[in-house]
Homo-oligomer: A and B are copies of this chain.
Amino acid sequence: MTVGIAGLGLIGGSIGLALREPGRRILGFDPDPAAREIAKSRFCLDEEVSLPDLAQADIVFVCAPPDAIVQVAEEISIHRGAQTWVSDCGSVKSDIARWATAAGADWFVPGHPMAGHEKGTARYATQSLFRDARWLLTPSDKTNSKAVKAIESLVIAMGAKPIRLVAAEHDQHVAVLSHLPHLVANALEAVAAPLSQREISGGSWKDLTRVAGADPALWSQILAGNADAVSAAIDAMITELELAKQVVATGDRDQLRLLLRAASERKRVAGK
């Protein structure tokens, strides 16, 4: 079996490490020579090939930056082997799902591994990056079910848990569960910027701002690609904060307790 990886950063490199074993040959491509060298030095692939050759693999993962995914998928579709199934790893799914439907690309399964961290190159790739992580897939009713099953079996081989979702629903979920937290972390850092002694912060501050300052090049593409859902999530967040402010401003302990009990109950339910 051959697995092609288009884009040898943290995600592509980690897929290579997670899948590389006897009986599976990992082919890798990246337009950036430096990225290729790092991935090779970390043993993320068996062979460096051109994108047309990569498109002949049994399975191809497109791990390009969000704005480049459709373009890479189109290039692959030109050179694609008759039995090649393709997936991608972008954080936003509506656009690429729409492209697959419009292009009649029933061999393409839009995907999104819920793993990664701030360090974006294959230098930080690990075999275990996807272990116990959710790997979201958003096939449409037009997608070839063999393609979906083939991608799912590799996702499972990497230790992740495949979950099928409708693309639009996926984007609403990640707007709240991933994109909003990043913007919230940035906003908290902005609020704290004028403080003279912010080094006195404790554990809660560290937790809430860990993801602040994430890669502007990557995140501008993610947020632009999911602008409507993210805007709605920010609006909902502002509404909740305005409610909290109204209650805090009264200084009324009973009202505050009610507000906090609702949060406590919500957390308890969510924790189940």
Contact = CB atoms under 8 A, between A and B. Distances in A.
A59 to B, nearest CB: 23
Identical copies in the complex: 2
A202 interface: yes
Contact of A220 (B114, B205, B256): B256
A237 B241 contact: yes
B198 A260 contact: no
Nearest to A203: B117
A163 interface: yes
A97 to B, nearest CB: 16
A65 to B, nearest CB: 11
A67 B256 CA distance: 14
Most buried by B among A114, A178, A187, A212: A187
Interface of A: 67, 114-115, 117, 133-134, 136, 163, 165, 169, 172-173, 176-178, 180-193, 195-205, 207-217, 219-221, 223-224, 227, 230-231, 233-238, 240-242, 244-245, 248-254, 256-257, 259-268, 270
